């Protein structure tokens, strides 16, 4: 599979993840990002033996967009530390059903994951098991009862964006798990990892990488030839 490389140096590999590919091996046995990228590095750099490549953050299988992998243990450790220090910044693009009443808002919920069902629900803040989820969104486009949102993610909870937007009455386009009443089987979830910003693990300079979704429905209502339509 052709995985676009956005940046590569001795410590980092930044790529654009295709949709519907797991980031690491899972029970399906389908080809995963980590294995494919290791195999690619081995061939391109003619490396003997095992290739080191570490997964430092994740994207849900249906979600595409920008991801960074660590090529050295030093990079893996320092990137993981930046995530713990909340110095690892992620922004997403999403197409939501309907038009949120507020064009700009902060969403705060407490989430609980049912691992047996692989489904997340909102719970009271008094529930000890609930984990705080926080994001900011801005509506940057509206077409055909759909809204294009730019999301600044402050916590990295499982299925967070999908659950929080569903809870406010604006589930993601194509999300059958959290928007089964308005989405059809076979529709692709319209969620894309748009921007990734972090400090380089050795150069100590801020780096930012961006990726735009494919020009397919519903994204093509808002983007054409890499530009947002007004």
Q: pLDDT tens for residues 4-18?
A: 999 999 999 999 999
Contacts of residue 41, defined as CB under 8 A and 6 or more positions apart, other chains included, come to: 13, 47, 51, 53, 71
- Confidence category of residue 230, pLDDT binned at 50, 70, 90: low
pLDDT tens-digit series, residues 99-143: 998 999 999 999 999 988 889 999 999 888 999 999 999 999 999
**Start-to-end CA span in the chain (Å):** 34
Inform me whether the pLDDT recorded for 220 exceeds 70: yes
**What is the rounded CA–CA span in Å between residue 14 and residue 209?**
8
Q: DSSP string of 28-79?
A: T----HHHHHHHHHHHHTT--SPPP-EE-S---TT-EEEEEEESSHHHHHHH
Query: What pLDDT score was predicted for residue 49?
Result: 86
Strand partners for 112: 121
In this predicted model, what pLDDT tens digit does every residue of 163-177 receive, in sequence order?
A: 999 999 999 999 999
Q: How far is CA 11 from CA 59, 72, 107, 130, in A?
A: 21, 5, 35, 36
Do 109 and 133 touch, CB atoms closer than 8 A? Answer: yes
| pLDDT per position as a tens digit, 50-104 | 899 999 999 999 999 999 999 999 999 999 999 999 999 999 999 999 999 899 9
Burial (CB count <10 Å: 0-12, 13-18, 19+), residue 133: buried
Question: Cβ of 83: how many Cβ atoms within 10 Å?
Answer: 15
Q: For Cα atoms 49, 33, 202, give the angle at the middle one, nearest 5 degrees.
A: 70
Query: What pLDDT shows up at residue 177?
Result: 93
pLDDT at 109 (0 to 100): 96
Question: What does pLDDT average to over the chain?
Answer: 94
Tokens representing 94? 């999403």
DSSP state of 188: P
């Amino acid at each position: 599979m052709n995985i676009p490389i956005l940046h590569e140096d001795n410590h980092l590999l930044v790529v654009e993840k295709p949709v519907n590919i797991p980031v690491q091996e899972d029970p399906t046995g389908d080809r995963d990002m980590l294995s494919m990228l290791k195999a690619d590095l081995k061939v391109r750099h003619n490396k003997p033996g095992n290739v080191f490549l570490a997964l430092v953050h994740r994207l849900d299988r249906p979600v595409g967009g920008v991801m960074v992998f660590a090529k050295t243990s030093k990079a893996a450790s320092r990137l993981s530390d930046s995530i713990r220090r909340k110095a690892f910044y992620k922004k997403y693009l999403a197409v939501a059903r309907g038009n949120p009443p507020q064009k700009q808002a902060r969403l705060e919920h407490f989430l609980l994951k049912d691992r047996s069902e692989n489904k997340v629900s909102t719970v009271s803040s008094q529930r000890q098991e609930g984990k705080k989820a926080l994001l900011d969104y801005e509506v940057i486009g509206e077409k055909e009862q759909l809204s294009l949102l730019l999301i600044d993610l402050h916590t990295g909870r499982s299925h967070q964006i999908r659950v929080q937007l569903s809870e406010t009455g604006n589930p993601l386009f194509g999300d059958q798990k959290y928007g089964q009443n308005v989405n059809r089987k076979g529709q692709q979830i319209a969620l894309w990892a748009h921007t990734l910003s972090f400090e380089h693990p050795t150069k100590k300079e801020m780096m930012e990488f961006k990726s735009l979704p494919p020009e397919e429905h519903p994204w093509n209502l808002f983007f054409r030839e890499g530009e947002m339509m007004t």
